[in-house]
Structure 1
Amino acid sequence: MSDVQDYESSLGDAAISRKYETFSYLPTLTAESIRAQIQYIVDKGWNPGIEHTEPAHAISNYWYMWKLPMFGETDVDAILAEVEACHKAHPENHVRLLGFDNFAQSAGTAMVLHRGVSV
């Protein structure tokens, strides 16, 4: 049997150690990787949505929605600009991007793009 890596989570350092969403267990996404993931959302026909929350409340099922989902948006730069605007408005919050699948009526993907700072 192979060794399985354990991802420790620390209540004292939840902003860094906790794992959230699709890519949390991988190294931090590069700018190119983020663009590729957004392009995937667009290519699938999913509607991008941006949410944010305080690190202390990130385990909760409720995150604050940043504006409305970007229904029908296909411009990766416009989506990135909204992610950055959310991060600028709430620099201490986690910011995540979702891809809403309107046929399955669920989130097709979700990824935290900015991790907030615990205060």
Structure 2
Amino acid sequence: MSALIILLLILSIILFIVSFFQKDQSSNVKKELDDLSMNLYQETYQMNKRIKVLEEELLVDDQLMKKELSKSDKPIVNEILRNQVIALFKQGLSVEQISKQSALAQAEVKNVIANFLNQ
């Protein structure tokens, strides 16, 4: 019985000493997690930087567009509105009614109708 106890004691001491020489798996996992989180932060930073650049470009484009629109005193009437005004004119509606339905000024409606009649 005492030989068994001594044998178990020697075995436990050997296993205890061997455990100090084995690699720690948790340190590898911690390192990988740190690397992954650092990559995530870097990518997030890069994306935010790109978004800021795009927002600035859009802001500049928007400001240029507003300047171009403010330079031209004549509002732009697109083809759809022009066709709508002509169709309403053909139906016999007055300039005031066409202006209300198309959300255009009466002068613009008259201009579109005059261009249609001159064609």
- Would you call these one fold, judging by a TM-score over 0.5? no
Give the structure with the larger strand fraction: 1
Normalising by structure 2, report the TM-score: 0.19
Question: TM-score if structure 1 supplies the norm length?
Answer: 0.19
Q: Which has the higher contact order (CA 8 A, sep 6+)?
A: 1
**Which structure would you say has the larger Rg?**
2
Structure number having the greater helix percentage:
2
